[in-house]
Structure 1
Amino acid sequence: MSVEKIIKENEGTIVDVRSYGEFMGGNVIGSLNIPLNEIPERVEELKKLKAPLVLCCASGNRSGQAQHFLSQLGIECYNGGSWLDVNYYKSQATK
């Protein structure tokens, strides 16, 4: 399943891994903010979210790091890239 399809069909949870300040400057409606540096200590919380997780940040770099880390732990997740791209797909949601 493509990241675009997951977002458009509201199949998972969008997790923004940017800093709180960046997140407050603009974010995807309904997304959660868990900064990249907090990911390791919040793994149990992430495991309880509706899977798959779609991770996003400013450019896709930090979300890529988070995706690699979480995948190693067996958590189904995808790098959604820039939050702006994720936001665009979200605006086209079918549900």
Structure 2
Amino acid sequence: MTTPSALSTHETRDRLHELTVIDVRTPGEYAGGHLPGALNIPLDQVQRALTDLRQAADRGEILIVCASGARSENACRILAENGIATATLSGGTSAWAAEGHDLHRLQGSPRATWGMERQVRLTAGTVVLLGLLLGLLVHPAFQILSAGIAAGLVFSALTNTCGMAALLAKLPHNRTGAADLDATLAALRGRR
């Protein structure tokens, strides 16, 4: 199994023209802003794209990006388990934008798309607060909601996965400009 290397935003900027950039965020996040030339293969679709990603890796280096680096690390792990060498962008698109580099947006996409991590924080906080309030005002059993979210967050941290993010990724606002995997893989095949 190969270990992915990490590229800084400066290294990525200097080498962007020679990298195949794969953005593993949701289609909504991708539409809201991505690295120039990046192709969108959401994390839950990476397994379906293995053959094309292997061929792309044979032609040159693949850079996997997400919002902060957690999903790209998961994608790199999946690819490494399948013998595909990759690199990841340290800090993800958040670090890229913070350094003042341009993010490209799909035509007609909203500028204020919330990142998945922000959506998870909002949802987790809302459910915890709701569980506490309903537990105080209606019945103590509602506090199980808060305990469930707490347990889920601990599990998420220990496994570096996030079930809530997987569920939120399926919501309509995260499917704007839905990833057309077939079109993305055709574009990936067309890069030489």
TM-score by length of 1: 0.79
Q: SS of the counterpart of 1:54?
A: strand
The runs of 5 or more residues in structure 1 that have no matched partner are none
Following the alignment from structure 1 to structure 2, what is the Cα–Cα distance between the partners of residues 32 and 63?
13
Q: CA, structure 1 residues 2+38, in 2 after alignment: closer, same or farther (shift >3 Å)?
A: closer
TM-fit CA distance, 1:19: 0.5
Pairwise CA RMSD of aligned residues? 2.3
The answer to whether the Cα contact below 8 Å between 1:55 and 1:63 also exists between their aligned partners in 2 is yes
TM-fit CA distance, 1:56: 0.7
Which structure has more helix as a fraction of its residues?
Answer: 2
The answer to whether the Cα contact below 8 Å between 1:17 and 1:57 also exists between their aligned partners in 2 is yes
Deviations 1:31-86 (A, max 9, x none): 11000000001111212224311111011110000001101111110121412334
TM-score by length of 2: 0.42
Q: Which amino acid aligns with 1:85?
A: A
Following the alignment from structure 1 to structure 2, what is the Cα–Cα distance between the partners of residues 69 and 2?
16
- How high is the sequence identity, in percent, across the aligned residues? 30
Asked if 1:62 corresponds to 2:71, the answer is yes
Q: CA, structure 1 residues 54+86, in 2 after alignment: closer, same or farther (shift >3 Å)?
A: farther
Which structure has more strand as a fraction of its residues?
Answer: 1
